[in-house]
Structure 1
């Protein structure tokens, strides 16, 4: 790349791109090369700490030049290459920048515009978040709700209700009351119709009402009334402020797994909270957000559903405090 960048004005446009290219060279040099810059997980502490300036800060005003112009820029471009655009589109666009601005003096806007133009992708959200703010990536799986279709078919719904009731825990009072002798045992004449009535029995009137109601739907529409379908509503919160693609690793109870890669445009209507629906006949066992640490998420503890324990350690030590008792010593001495 032979491009005349203004390093004094925009250090990142020179040293940041060099750091990114250095990272690409390092990973091709050998396996497990100890790269200091480029991997998203390694920029987290800098982005969470104080002295974190936007990348688009004049070089003379940056508090931490290495973390800002070198490290964060290299990481941002790596995320753009691996997660946002993909290697093929990014590499083409980056080469086009080097070709288009060879022997010229580009400004940041020229770099942004060229990558968007060559990749055919609107990256305004990416430049704004990564280059113009000090926001961090911190997406949390806030809540997961399970929905199913109400078929309104009494033969189906009452059977489901019966199973749900049987699965309910027996209260402590009910357990203790069960051995008690009941009044109706001594006076069987008190037993009436509702003592033996099964509340989950489908009445003829209910069946007739359903038959009349379902006739308004076409045959294809009736397929929607599938009680085996599960609809999981995953509520995601953007706690860090920096919008990002959402990568979900979903594991089902039958042992199968699936990865969902959702573009950052999911945040276009609400950049603070969104909901993703997963429709499946399987039962979800667990969900992991950003399983491969590719978005520089600042707090991975909230990336799991169900929540996992937060691991930590404590040290064992002896109490080395001075246990001298002046009053006791002087009293013993006087005696």
Structure 2
């Protein structure tokens, strides 16, 4: 604990830090903490055993309670007014220390994916609520603020810059009594990043993250060349399903087949036929263009318009994985400022030479998006499982139950 808390805040200033494996779940005091749980003793063998939950629970509670000597006993926040400045900040640092213990340490709080159920619930209050009025205390004061700080570090600001800014906060306010505004201002001041939108959404509201990829439109440049454009239009027409009437008339001996003399020019040519007038018009168009304009017409790029909806109300960066027809993949990060003028919906234009086959929003589950099913284009089938139950088809009655032989419960 001390090693990693020192890295993220300041050097531990006291001569000792004692952790007592006591009978309580966890309680902190200056320089001494009491932490459970304990192993249990097998009555027959006398051996001591502990479960996986006991192991990681004890490691985590020791980190957490020793961490409280830093927050709030040195950075002396008002726990009764703002519990999250004590528990939430400490839980965030606890998460960082846990993840240095071993790969995939089973941290209870800190990972964005672990807070989504709470974020989507209706029975909650903003983080910036007086401690006496909080609902779901653990999620509100511990889990959500810890997750928010972790998202700032990993996704919004970046590790190096956020670590520098948080260390500045800890050192600037040790042995003082900061308020939430002091934390917000220091992190922005030290990082140079405007985070007003983040504090507003995560700390002052109960909105949640649910960015839905509503639609993807593919566009290409109209070359104005009749040979190209009419061929393209004909291809689109041919891709349409044949009408039911036409299908069922497949065996009809049409009048025009019975009397070929009825056929004329329009039976051999249609709207996709290129005429000399079309060619002359195109030639005149090209002659009137400069080289740059000609290059624009010849641009073979794909223009993709991605439509997003902010269904949860909480604005966040839009993180995308783009998969292409040639098997390659590209990661795109659209900053949260894209929602500034339209917080409910936004469209993004992407110009690519390659053909797009799949788009995934928040592929690494970084933003605590509560509904990942609407993060895919094309939409994917949602995998799940069906549980089968064996039904008792007997016609049971109270009379049968009454006359059932009573089991003694004696193994002898």
Q: Does 1:104 align with 2:200?
A: no
1:3 deviates by 1.4
Q: Tell me the alpha carbon deviations over residues 11-64 of structure 1, each in whole angstroms, 9 at most, x when there is no partner.
A: 111211111111001111111111011000000111122432111111111122
1:253 deviates by 1.7
Which SS does the other structure have where 1:247 is aligned? strand
Q: Which residue number in structure 1 is paired with residue 304 of structure 2?
A: 232
Q: Which residue number in structure 2 is paired with residue 201 of structure 1?
A: 273
Structure 1 gaps of 5+ residues are 327-335
Which range moved further: 148-157 or 174-183? Answer: 174-183
TM-score, normalised to structure 2, is: 0.75
Which range moved further: 154-163 or 115-124? Answer: 154-163
Question: What CA distance in whole angstroms lies between the structure 1 residues aligned with 2:240 and 2:86?
Answer: 64
Which SS does the other structure have where 1:29 is aligned? coil
Question: What CA distance in whole angstroms lies between the structure 2 residues aligned with 1:282 and 1:172?
Answer: 36
1:266 deviates by 0.7
Correspondences of 1:129-144 after superposition (within 5 Å): 129-144=201-216
Select 1:13's aligned residue among 81, 85, 92: 85
Question: What CA distance in whole angstroms lies between the structure 2 residues aligned with 1:262 and 1:92?
Answer: 24
Distance change in 2, residues 1:28/1:324 (3 Å): closer
Question: What CA distance in whole angstroms lies between the structure 2 residues aligned with 1:265 and 1:86?
Answer: 16
Q: Does 1:74 align with 2:146?
A: yes
Select 1:290's aligned residue among 345, 349, 362: 362
Question: What CA distance in whole angstroms lies between the structure 2 residues aligned with 1:216 and 1:129?
Answer: 53
Question: What CA distance in whole angstroms lies between the structure 2 residues aligned with 1:269 and 1:200?
Answer: 43
Question: What CA distance in whole angstroms lies between the structure 2 residues aligned with 1:285 and 1:107?
Answer: 49
Question: What CA distance in whole angstroms lies between the structure 1 residues aligned with 2:375 and 2:124?
Answer: 24
Which SS does the other structure have where 2:296 is aligned? coil
Correspondences of 1:211-222 after superposition (within 5 Å): 211-222=283-294
Question: What CA distance in whole angstroms lies between the structure 2 residues aligned with 1:67 and 1:213?
Answer: 65
Residues 150 and 227, structure 1, Cα contact 8 Å, conserved in 2: no
Q: Which residue number in structure 2 is paired with residue 304 of structure 1?
A: 376
Which SS does the other structure have where 1:151 is aligned? coil
Aligned residues: 326
Q: Tell me the alpha carbon deviations over residues 160-192 of structure 1, each in whole angstroms, 9 at most, x when there is no partner.
A: 112223333333432332333232333222222
Distance change in 2, residues 1:203/1:62 (3 Å): same
1:5 deviates by 1.3
Structure 2 gaps of 5+ residues are 1-8, 10-73, 399-412
Q: Tell me the alpha carbon deviations over residues 87-108 of structure 1, each in whole angstroms, 9 at most, x when there is no partner.
A: 1111111111112222211111
Distance change in 2, residues 1:7/1:206 (3 Å): same
Q: Does 1:33 align with 2:105?
A: yes
Q: Which residue number in structure 1 is paired with residue 341 of structure 2?
A: 269
Question: What CA distance in whole angstroms lies between the structure 2 residues aligned with 1:61 and 1:198?
Answer: 74
TM-score, normalised to structure 1, is: 0.91
Which range moved further: 52-61 or 204-213? Answer: 204-213
Which SS does the other structure have where 1:28 is aligned? coil
Which range moved further: 47-56 or 224-233? Answer: 224-233
1:321 deviates by 6.5
Question: What CA distance in whole angstroms lies between the structure 2 residues aligned with 1:152 and 1:22?
Answer: 62
Identify, as 1 or 2, the structure richer in helix. Answer: 1
Question: What CA distance in whole angstroms lies between the structure 2 residues aligned with 1:50 and 1:276?
Answer: 31
Q: Which residue number in structure 2 is paired with residue 333 of structure 1?
A: none
Which range moved further: 201-210 or 290-299? Answer: 201-210
Q: Does 1:58 align with 2:154?
A: no
1 or 2 for the larger relative contact order (CA 8 Å, sep ≥6)?
A: 1
1:116 deviates by 0.6
Q: Does 1:94 align with 2:166?
A: yes
Q: Does 1:166 align with 2:238?
A: yes
